[in-house]
Amino acid sequence: MNVAVLSGGVGGSRFVRGLLGVVDPADVTIIGNVADDLEVLGLHVSPDLDSMLYTLTGLADEERGWGRADETWNALDTVATLGGESWFRLGDRDIGVHLVRTQLLREGLPLSEATERIAHALGLQPALLPATDDPVRTFLETPAGTFPFQTWFVARGHRDEVDAVHYAGSPEATAGPGVIAALEGADVIMIAPSNPYVSIAPILAVEEIRDALVRRTVPCVAISPLIDGRAVKGPADRMLTRLAGGTSPAHVAACYEGLLDVLVIDESDAPSEPIRGVGRTIVTQTLMTDVAAARRLAAAALHGSGTLA
């Protein structure tokens, strides 16, 4: 059974790690968000792809929730001492990945190829495909101005309310190599419990990818990132409130209008009536407290889609 998963960073990575306990990793293709990529200190950083990579290969720092385990910070400490750009927290081991990626990109390789080489070297089993090799970038329009994603998220601590989200470069972007084939060859398409606006929407902003989802012949299952109307971490709930008018499952579903067959939501969000535009709603415990909980969530989502007996 082939599974294609659209995913952002940490939450998505943890979901996919659970999924790999339910289906053969060789049958899973991850379509990763690249619209929060940035260039910092001359390095091309792909935070969502790396969250996935680190989480699935056991290199992630689980307590900190981002970056690598057993990390040191000597390069960035030096950068700070020298008055260089140190607002984006890059650990030494993490920098090693960015140095290699950046060099491959400078040699002319597309991001997909650079990602594949790094993933292969780290022994990643499922395919990890950037949604696009083109420079799609998320910008947040806020009362304080319009900011690139990481400036808003990291440098300004996502304190600014978001009035609108733009995906610069998306009109010209094409899907990365293998992405459309993975969607077309999938027995089920999943949308990980990631932020709809800044993790999933930038993937869907690539017209080819959205079109592939629209014309799907297999179920598409989204897992809501909210629990009791609140984001486990990050600004998804605040964004939904301001941009969609609320944080109910219906508001989440509206983000994926026309694309969803099944929505998986937490027990705390169980709606009193059917959700418009969703064929089926699965109510379960969605908090991924550990790998086993993530595995149960993935299994429930697959069961709900009718693709897991």
* Contacting range for its own copies; rule: CB under 8 A; set: 27-35, 76-84, 158-166, 281-289: 76-84
- Residue from 33, 55, 102, 195 in contact with its own copies (CB under 8 A): 102
Least CB distance to its own copies at residue 33 (A)? 22
Least CB distance to its own copies at residue 52 (A)? 16
Decide: is 5 part of the binding site for its own copies (CB under 8 A): no
Decide: is 291 part of the binding site for its own copies (CB under 8 A): no
Per-residue DSSP letter, 274: P
- Residue from 27, 66, 88, 93 in contact with its own copies (CB under 8 A): 93
Contact between 133 and 21 under an 8 Å Cβ cutoff? The reply is: no
CA distance 158 to 140: 10
CA distance 198 to 89: 20
**Interface mask toward its own copies for 41-60; x: CB under 8 A:** xxx-----------------
Contact between 86 and 75 under an 8 Å Cβ cutoff? The reply is: no
Secondary structure string (H, E, C) spanning 98-123? HHHHHHHHHCCCCHHHHHHHHHHHCC
Decide: is 207 part of the binding site for its own copies (CB under 8 A): no
- Residue from 62, 77, 172, 228 in contact with its own copies (CB under 8 A): 77
Residue 280 buriedness (CB in 10 A; 0-12 / 13-18 / 19+): middle
Q: How many residues bind its own copies (CB under 8 A)?
A: 32
- Hey, what are 273's tokens? 């009536």
> In a 3-state reduction of DSSP, which class is residue 30?
strand
* Contacting range for its own copies; rule: CB under 8 A; set: 97-105, 150-158, 213-221, 241-249: 97-105
Contact between 152 and 142 under an 8 Å Cβ cutoff? The reply is: yes
- Hey, what are 226's tokens? 């909210």
End-to-end, the C-alpha distance of the chain in Å comes to: 11
Taking CA atoms, 58 is separated from 109, 117, 146, 263, in Å, by 26, 18, 36, 29
Least CB distance to its own copies at residue 295 (A)? 28
Of 122-161, which residues contact its own copies (CB under 8 A)? 122
Decide: is 106 part of the binding site for its own copies (CB under 8 A): yes
Closest to its own copies by CB, 59 vs 191, is 59
Decide: is 292 part of the binding site for its own copies (CB under 8 A): no
Closest to its own copies by CB, 1 vs 99, is 99
Decide: is 38 part of the binding site for its own copies (CB under 8 A): no
Which residues in this chain contact its own copies in the complex, by CB under 8 A?
41-43, 71-72, 74-79, 81-85, 91-97, 99-100, 102-103, 106, 117-118, 121-122
